């Protein structure tokens, strides 16, 4: 916490710890249900109000010369989930302020998650820990893998992505689309690489953090993508936003009226679609205050709502055509479709504004040409042939590893069962590659973790 304050000049984490700790005690202590609810609402208003004020106004930037305190969303979501769970009676409140402070400010995850739950982390944090060679080895291997993804893919592909987004008018649609897809690769290897480092450090300490990614490029729909991408945020939104909305009195009323007017089958989807739209609108503005993030949320909400509505029709068509979800060509089609739809959403999450995103989309569809999809375009950006080949090779390595896990092949277990000499050799090569990639590689420029700003 000292280093957090020293480097960020922010004391918001102290405020978050103190107020949620106190609210947790008060909510558990009071007996009247209405008073409990009032305290919870007050806690949510204070914390989310502060989060909104910091993230979506220039007040703090002008007053303190700061933009957004590092990781504020992550530790606030973590502490707020604790208060909600205490209110729901899922577990008792923590009476020791230092233990609670450890839960909220646990240093590996404080910057970009994953967003932990008290009932999972507290038992691990508060028990006695001794050195475990298996935990150390597994943690170190995970750190190396995360650093590999960050250094050899995310940081190097950023040059191409930044160049196209900074001057999209100078490129045809095919290059723009490739740049947006490259951004999907960049943000995946950047964020998942960072999480691997976080989980590896934590594993060395004997604490297992939640998995935050599960091979999102193999998702077969947009909703499946969100079950695989930033899993702890998606789970948080589902548990504390979606269900709360869908079971609320206003939506229950809408559900009842819709079933009466449209029939039970269609009517019940109305409240689910409304909840879905609100959920992804929140996910959109969580990423930023610009109009592009609003469209990003609405895009995902629209695609998922449409898929819910047409799901029964798709099932009938598949049945008539004798297609199953395990038909190879159909699985490939679903994966490609999901990646295209996710990539189209990335136009909004990466562009500076909605206007820029729409202009890039227009150029993609109206001027789609492979005219400048050539090595010369990358050379002009500072890439070399060897650098391009190395980048492609690294991407393929990550793809193959993810594919193995997708096919239920546990590479960690296979690696653990390998000869000790081979294990040491592979780890040494990885470490040397990472050191070489950072210190000696030509043209390497380190970039900040993308999700640290959230």
pLDDT at 444: 59
Nearest to 109 by CA among 136, 69, 74: 74
Nearest to 150 by CA among 215, 106, 198, 207: 198
Task: State the Cα torsion 236-240-242-248 to the nearest 10°.
Answer: 180
- How far is the C-alpha of 334 from the C-alpha of 318, rounded, in Å? 13
Q: Which residue has the tokens 């990639």?
A: 437
Q: At what angle do helices 328-350 and 173-204 cross, to 10 degrees?
A: 90
Report yes or no: 143 and 205 within 8 Å, Cβ to Cβ: no
pLDDT at 273: 86
CA angle 141, 144, 146 (to 5 degrees): 110
Mean pLDDT of all residues in 15-37: 92
Nearest to 142 by CA among 197, 195, 88: 197
Mean pLDDT of all residues in 368-372: 78
Tell which wins on pLDDT, 92 or 414.
92
pLDDT at 304: 92
Report yes or no: 101 and 17 within 8 Å, Cβ to Cβ: yes
Mean pLDDT of all residues in 430-441: 68
pTM of the shown model: 0.88
Q: Which residue has the tokens 């045809």?
A: 172
| Distances from the Cα of 301 to the Cα of 135, 236, 305, angstroms | 40, 17, 6
Radius of gyration, CA atoms only, the chain: 24
Range scoring the smallest mean pLDDT among 76-85, 181-190, 298-307, 404-413: 404-413
Give the E-state strand segments of 98-205 in sequence order.
none
Burial of 32 per CB tally in 10 Å (0-12, 13-18, 19+): exposed
Please enumerate in sequence order all residues whose Cβ is within 8 A of that of 269, keeping only pairs 6 or more positions apart, or say none: 308, 309
Question: What's the pLDDT band for 284 if we cut at 50, 70, 90?
Answer: confident
> Is the pLDDT reported for residue 300 higher than 70?
yes
pLDDT digits (tens, 9 = 90+) for 99-111: 999 999 998 988 8
Out of 65-79, 384-398, 419-433, the most confident range is 384-398
Question: What's the pLDDT band for 428 if we cut at 50, 70, 90?
Answer: confident
Please enumerate in sequence order all residues whose Cβ is within 8 A of that of 355, keeping only pairs 6 or more positions apart, or say none: none
Report yes or no: 25 and 93 within 8 Å, Cβ to Cβ: yes
Percent of the chain with pLDDT over 90: 46
pLDDT at 269: 84
pLDDT at 367: 85
pLDDT at 187: 94
pLDDT digits (tens, 9 = 90+) for 217-259: 999 999 999 999 999 999 999 999 888 888 888 888 888 888 8
Percent of the chain with pLDDT over 70: 94
> Is the pLDDT reported for residue 8 higher than 90?
no
Tokens of 403: 């594919």
Query: How far is it between the farthest Cα atoms of the chain?
Result: 71
- How far is the C-alpha of 3 from the C-alpha of 70, rounded, in Å? 12
Mean pLDDT of all residues in 87-99: 93
Q: Which residue has the tokens 């984490």?
A: 13
Tell me how far the alpha carbon of residue 32 is from its chain's centroid: 38
Number of helical (H) and strand (E) elements in the chain, helices listed first: 22, 0
Task: State the Cα torsion 131-135-137-139 to the nearest 10°.
Answer: -120
pLDDT digits (tens, 9 = 90+) for 141-188: 899 899 999 988 999 999 999 999 999 998 888 999 999 999 999 999
Q: Kindly report the average pLDDT of the chain as a whole number.
A: 86
pLDDT digits (tens, 9 = 90+) for 52-85: 877 776 545 544 444 567 778 888 999 999 999 9
């Amino acid at each position: 916490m000292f280093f957090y304050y020293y480097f960020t000049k922010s004391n918001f984490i102290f405020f978050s710890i103190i107020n949620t700790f106190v609210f947790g005690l008060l909510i558990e202590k009071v007996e009247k249900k209405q008073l409990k609810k009032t305290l919870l609402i007050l806690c949510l208003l204070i914390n989310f109000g502060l989060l909104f004020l910091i993230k979506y106004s220039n007040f703090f930037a002008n007053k303190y010369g700061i933009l957004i305190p590092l990781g504020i969303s992550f530790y606030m979501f973590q502490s707020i989930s604790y208060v909600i769970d205490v209110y729901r009676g899922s577990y008792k409140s923590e009476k020791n302020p230092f233990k609670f402070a450890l839960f909220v400010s646990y240093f590996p995850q404080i910057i970009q998650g994953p967003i932990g739950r008290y009932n999972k982390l507290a038992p691990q944090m508060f028990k006695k820990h001794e050195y475990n060679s298996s935990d150390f080895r597994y943690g170190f291997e995970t750190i190396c893998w995360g650093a590999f993804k960050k250094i050899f893919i995310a940081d190097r592909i950023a040059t191409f992505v930044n160049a196209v987004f900074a001057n999209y008018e100078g490129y045809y649609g095919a290059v723009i689309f490739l740049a947006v897809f490259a951004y999907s690769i960049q943000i995946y290897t950047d964020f998942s690489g960072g999480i691997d480092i976080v989980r590896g450090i934590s594993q060395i300490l004997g604490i297992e953090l939640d998995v935050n990614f599960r091979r999102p490029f193999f998702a077969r729909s947009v909703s499946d993508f969100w079950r695989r991408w930033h899993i702890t945020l998606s789970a948080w939104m589902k548990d504390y936003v979606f269900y709360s909305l869908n079971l609320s009195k206003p939506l229950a009323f809408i559900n009842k009226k819709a079933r009466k007017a449209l029939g039970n089958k269609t009517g019940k989807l109305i409240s689910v679609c409304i909840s879905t739209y609100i959920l992804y609108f929140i996910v959109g503005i969580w990423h930023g205050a610009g109009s592009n993030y609003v469209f990003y949320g609405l895009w995902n909400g629209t695609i998922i709502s449409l898929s819910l509505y047409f799901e029964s029709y798709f099932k009938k068509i598949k049945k008539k055509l004798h297609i199953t979800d395990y038909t190879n060509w159909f699985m490939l089609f679903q994966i490609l479709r999901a990646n295209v739809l996710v990539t189209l959403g990335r136009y909004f999450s990466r562009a500076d504004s909605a206007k820029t995103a729409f202009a890039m989309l227009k150029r993609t569809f109206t001027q789609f040409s492979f005219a400048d999809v050539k090595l010369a375009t990358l050379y002009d950006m500072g890439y070399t042939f060897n650098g391009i080949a190395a980048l492609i090779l690294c991407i393929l390595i990550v793809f193959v590893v993810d594919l193995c896990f997708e096919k239920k092949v546990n590479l960690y277990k296979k690696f653990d069962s390998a000869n000790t000499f081979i294990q040491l050799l592979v780890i040494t090569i990885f470490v040397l590659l990472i050191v070489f990639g950072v210190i000696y590689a030509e043209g390497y420029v380190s970039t900040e973790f993308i999700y640290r700003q959230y």
